[in-house]
Amino acid sequence: MTIAEIGDIIEFKEGLQGIVEKVNENSVIVNLTYMEDFDESVMQEKTVINHKRYIILSSSSQEGNIPRCDPSNRIE
């Protein structure tokens, strides 16, 4: 299992995406305002996701610009 790092973009639970803000022992804290349709949703700005429950879409350690919400860039 690959653990996300701060700045990584992850996807979890029915296609929700966010940017990792903090890495804990068993989970990450994710900022959901990254999603383009966040303003239309009724969600909190941040959530906690267990390491077993997400995939990394884009790693902060990769060079170049990070595309917004592009599922074709998944790293599994």
Q: Is 35 a member of any domain?
A: yes
Instruction: Tell me the residue range of the domain where 13 lies.
Output: 9-73
Whether 2 maps to a domain, the answer reads no
Q: Tens-of-pLDDT digits for all 76 residues of the chain? A: 899 999 999 999 888 999 999 999 999 999 998 887 777 777 789 999 999 999 999 998 765 555 555 555 555 5
Looking at the 3D structure of the chain, how many domains does it have?
1
**Residues 6 or more apart in contact with residue 74 via CB below 8 angstroms:** 11, 55, 56, 57
Task: Measure the CA–CA gap between 59 and 54, rounded to whole angstroms.
Answer: 13
**pTM of the predicted structure, to 2 decimals:** 0.74
> Is 4 among the domain residues?
no
